[in-house]
Structures are given as structure tokens and as C-alpha cells.
Chains A and B, each alone.
Chain A
Amino acid sequence: MEEKEAVAEPKEKKTHDKNEVVIEIIHLKKSFGSKDVLKDINLTVHSGENVVVLGRSGQGKSVTIQCIVGMLIPDGGTLKVFGEEVADLNDKELKELRMKIGFLFQSGALYDSMTVRENMEFPLTRVLKLEDQGEIDKRVEEVLEAVGLAEAIDKMPSDLSGGMRKRAGLARTLIIKPEIMLYDEPTTGLDPITSREISQLILDMQKRYKTTSIIITHDMECARITADRVVIMDDGEYIAQGSFDELHKSKNKLVQSFFKDIS
């Protein structure tokens, strides 16, 4: 029973070339029953880039990032992360890939039977298999300090506000120092001030931890703050992409509809 799986902690984070392709998606397709959610998704994400995917609700924005992390298996097309086809990975390889990817869920998805500290310790002890309590404590304190939650370390998730839960979820994701961050609607359900704080935090964390990010949202303020590049999704395809300002000036009616309330 004591046998441990040989999954070593990733070595010091590799420094990636700015032009290095981290995520490559070509003609990705995914259906649920008779509903074609992803029809033809094409996307290339470079190292250190923050890509924001905008789209209406129910268009399958989250499905793309769920395919990236191997939660869903695409029906067709190519999806490569660090040059490896995700659908071809075995369990061990998928686990190793997931150690390089952080996924922030819409709700924060904190384990509600554990304190914030235990939530932070969980990936360190279960995924990275750290045993030195001093090292664990140091990393927990450091990441909570970074997201401004040091004082909530011994609180239960039920005692935290929505914004604090998102911060704690972000901290738990960042504690294993991922190379890619996937954010699933990080500002949904938050008031405008807290949304702005979370968006700013995403940007700060991206700079601090040097991650490559895909942010799924329909919050334009979040997109404006965090995006290096914005991709617009409609009817299972990416219909436009460019910087926030470029798309703001676009003549495409659907693109304009996203930006119509932005001055």
C-alpha cells in the first residue's frame, strides 16, 4: 500500500522562447450527442501570451480548455500541448502534463471539507509528493501572500467571500508553479470592483509566475485588463482575433456587439 508513484516534482521551470508554440489547436471538433459544440477550432498560443476567449454563453468556450487539460476527448482535429498530442497520452503522461497546467474553475472549486491551508497543501503533498513540512509551509505562505489571503489561511471555504474563494482557488492552482494557466470565467458572479481586482491579480500572477494563459470570459473589462490577444468565438468556431484595441475597431457586427458598451 505504501508504494508511491514515481512522479517527480518538475525541475526549475523551463524558460520558453517567446515565439515557442505552447498550445496548438487545428480543426478541433467536439460534439455532445447531436449537438456540435466545437466545429472547427484553430488556435496557436505562444509562450508567455495571455489569450482571452470571448463568446456568448453556451457556445462551448469552456469545452476547448477542458480538451486542453484532457478532461474531454476531442472527436477530431489536433490538440498539442508542448508539442504532445493530448488525446494520445497515457495516464502517467497525462498526469505529468497536468502538473504543468493550472486550471481555475468558475467557482474556485475549493475542497470545502478542508481549511484554506489544507487546500494549498493538497497539491503539494498529493501531486508533487513534498514531505518537508518547512518547505510546504513556506510555499503555502508565499502563494497566499501573493494573492493577498495570508490572513485567511486557517479559514474554511464557507467563511470566504466569492472574491476570496477565487483568490484561494488561484493560489491553489499557482502553488505547483504551472507553465500554463487556464481560467474558466474567473470573474463570473463577482461585483465589478472585485472582478477588476481578480483581473488585475491574474495579470500580476502571470508576470510573477511567467505563465502562458487562456482566459475564458464574457467580461469585457477582464478581457481589456488581461488580454495580449482576444479571440471571439461563435457557433463552434473562432471568428476573429487580434488585440483588444484592434477588435474594438472591427467592422464585424458580431465583434462589435461585444464591444458596444465599451467607450
Chain B
Amino acid sequence: MAEEITIPGWKKWLEDIGEQVSFFIRFIKNIFVGGFEWSEFVRQCYEIGYRSMMLVGITSFIMGVVLILQLRPTLVEFGAASMLPKTLSVSFVREIGPVIIAIICAGKIASSIGAELGSMKVTEQLDAMDVSGANPLQYLVVTRILATTIMVPFLSVIGDVIGLFGGFLALNLRDHISLSLYATKVLASLDYTDFLPAFIKTIFFGLAIGFVGCYKGFHSSKGTESVGLAANSAVVTASLWIFVIDAIAVQITSLLFYK
């Protein structure tokens, strides 16, 4: 009997990185070869985008309300209550909205993709697709990653609008401000340097959420426990990636726009 070989942790970690790079290259390659799965892509956009809208909407609305309620006392103290719409809009559109919405999406979407693909692996559906000559990467992975890459920025924009509207309602609890004046102040305080970098980083958030969900699901082991582990690991890893991408994006944006 051969001796049991134990692989050191750092080697496993490097192997995992290599696997992830290889999986990403296969994903890119499969976008362009073998025909695009339009119907599955549209179905995934519906599942990922439309089905997450309610959750994103409620969360953003509450965030808008809470931010105004938290900011108001401090700004009133400095006699800067009129700055509330500007403060909210800049912080929400630049940072809080995209990150919070991406974290919500990581919890909902990455876990559901990880669990779905993980359970397909456990029940041999991925193997069945593979041995039949069909391409599971093309059908399952490409469609899901592209759908999250497109839908997360879309959800983020919707979340921004709803969050700012929540801020408007919260502002009216104490002060009176008309919707048109509020909208004018919000729009006047925002320019493309606030919106564009935030929008671009949500594309990468979406890519990370879809990629991590698919990778964890595809590489789960073959036991029922692994489905839960894949879902859990997908959320944790995707959330971590969101913060890493955000940190990089803020550095790049600062260098380019806010000198």
C-alpha cells in the first residue's frame, strides 16, 4: 500500500487559485464558442434581476431613511441642514448604495447559484450534461455570470433611486422639502465622477458574485453537506471580493477624479 500523501495548506491554496484562474479562462472562452444560450440567459436575468428587486428596494429605502435620520442631528448642529440632500446623494451613489446592494446580492444570488450548481453536482446532473456531450459551462456558468454582471449594476441604479427617495421621505418627517426641490438639490450635487466610477465598480461586483457562486457550486464535493458549504462559502468569498474590488476602485477613482 502506498504511503498517504498530505498536501500542505499553502499548496492547496495555490492549487485553488490555479483552479479559479483556469475556470475563469474557460468561462471567457465559452462566451465566444459553441453558440450562446439566449433563453437561459434571459431566464437568469429574470431570476437574478427581477426576483431580487423587492429585496434591493426595501433595503435601499431603509438605508436612505436611516442615513438621513443619522446625519440630520450632526448637520443641524453645524447649521448645515440644507446640505442633507447633497451629503446623502454623494455618499449613497458613490459608496453606500453600490456596496450595500452588492452585499445583499452576494447573500441572495451567490448563495443561490452556489447551492443550485452544488446540488446539480451531488445529483450527477452536471456529470450527465458533460457525458452527453453538452457543455455545462456554456449552459450554466456563462449565462449566470453574464446575468449577474449585467443585473447587479441595474439593481444598484434602482437601489440608488429608491434609497434617495427614502431619504426624501425621512427628511420630510422633521423638515418640509418639496420633491422637486429635493430632486434638484440631489441632481445638482452629483456629476458623472460620482455616478460613473460607482456604476463601473458594480459591473465588477456582479462579475465577482456570479463567478464565485458558479465556481463554488461547480467545485463542491459530492455529498449533501457540500451543498450548504458551497452556498455558505460563495457568500463569504463574494462578500470579501466586493470589499477588495471596492478598495481598488476607490484608489483608482481617487487618482483619476478627486485629486
Chain A residues proximal to chain B, CB less than 8 Å: 1-5, 7, 31, 33-34, 36, 69-71, 95-96, 98-99, 101, 103, 105-107, 109-113, 122-123, 126-127, 129, 169, 172-173, 176
Contact = CB atoms under 8 A, between A and B. Distances in A.
Contact of A103 (B35, B128, B135): B128
B33 A5 contact: yes
A162 B31 CA distance: 36
Q: Which of A3, A111, A112 has the most CB of B within 10 A?
A: A111
A159 B31 CA distance: 34
A41 B137 CA distance: 32
Given A3-B33, A34-B1, A126-B139, A98 B123 contact: no
Interface in B4-39: 4-5, 31-36
A98 B2 CA distance: 34
Contacts of B180: none
B123 A112 contact: yes
B interface SS class: loop
Contact of A98 (B33, B120, B132): B132
B44 to A, nearest CB: 11
B108 to A, nearest CB: 18
Contacts of A34: 1-5
Contacts, number: 78
Contacts of B2: 31, 34, 36
A99 B128 contact: no
A1 B2 CA distance: 48
B220 to A, nearest CB: 16
B124 A107 contact: yes
Interface string B107-136: 000000000100010011101111111110
Nearest to A128: B133
Given A112-B123, A126-B135, 9 more contacts: A3-B33, A34-B5, A70-B131, A96-B133, A103-B128, A112-B125, A122-B132, A126-B139, A127-B133
Nearest to A99: B133
A176 B132 CA distance: 9
A5 B34 CA distance: 5
B125 A109 contact: yes
Given A127-B132, A127-B134, A71 B36 contact: no
Given A109-B123, A109-B125, A112-B125, A71 B131 contact: yes
B5 A111 contact: no
A107 B123 contact: yes
Contact of A4 (B35, B125, B127, B131): B35
15 contacts: A3-B32, A3-B35, A7-B133, A99-B133, A103-B132, A105-B124, A105-B127, A109-B127, A111-B120, A111-B125, A122-B129, A126-B135, A127-B132, A127-B134, A176-B133
